[in-house]
Amino acid sequence: MPNTRPTFRVIRKENYPAVDDTDALDASTLTADAVEGFTRLAEVGMYEGSTLKLVFSMPELSVVHCWFRSGFPLPLHSHDADCLYYIIAGEIRLGTEVLGEGDSFYVPSEVPYAYSAGPEGVELLEIRTKDKFNIKSHVKAKAGWDHARDAMTSNHPNWAQELRPSRA
């Protein structure tokens, strides 16, 4: 049987591909309403407010480095993989909790969650139990998408000059 596990290697940050340029994230599970919602978010700067880089991937493991700019809202969603999130710098608002540098949270597979980046943005690592994972929206009404769109619209003007929290 051939060895499918990666061998020892050094991976340089300048070589991390954008998640959108890989097959790691499967968005085919999104409903038509969710596709419309994400399209509306893209129109007001979703891609300027987030940077997602695939740090490492092998069967049953992936690591994604995320930078969400100030106030960036992640609408209610889930994935088909368990995930541990580790905050490198900045902070998030997760329900009634404010989590900052060195904090982490765990989300089991298929459990919906949402959070927003704090006033300086947030950098975090997503460590998943799969190399390929899906995304499912749990936003139930247009008002949920409108809330995220309003947050992006009001925060977008600041994003161009923001530094990653770990560099600020």
Note whether residue 165 is domain-resident. Answer: no
Q: How confident is the model at residue 7, as a pLDDT?
A: 85
Answer whether 75's CB lies under 8 Å from 143's CB. no
pTM: 0.93
Answer whether 74's CB lies under 8 Å from 144's CB. no
Note whether residue 168 is domain-resident. Answer: no
Average pLDDT over residues 104-127: 98
Note whether residue 10 is domain-resident. Answer: no
- Which pLDDT band holds residue 3 (cuts at 50, 70, 90)? low
Number of domains the chain contains:
1
- Which pLDDT band holds residue 5 (cuts at 50, 70, 90)? confident
State percent of the chain over pLDDT 70: 97
Q: Quickly tell me which residue has 């977008």 as its tokens.
A: 156
State percent of the chain over pLDDT 90: 93
Degrees, nearest 5: CA angle 55-59-65: 20
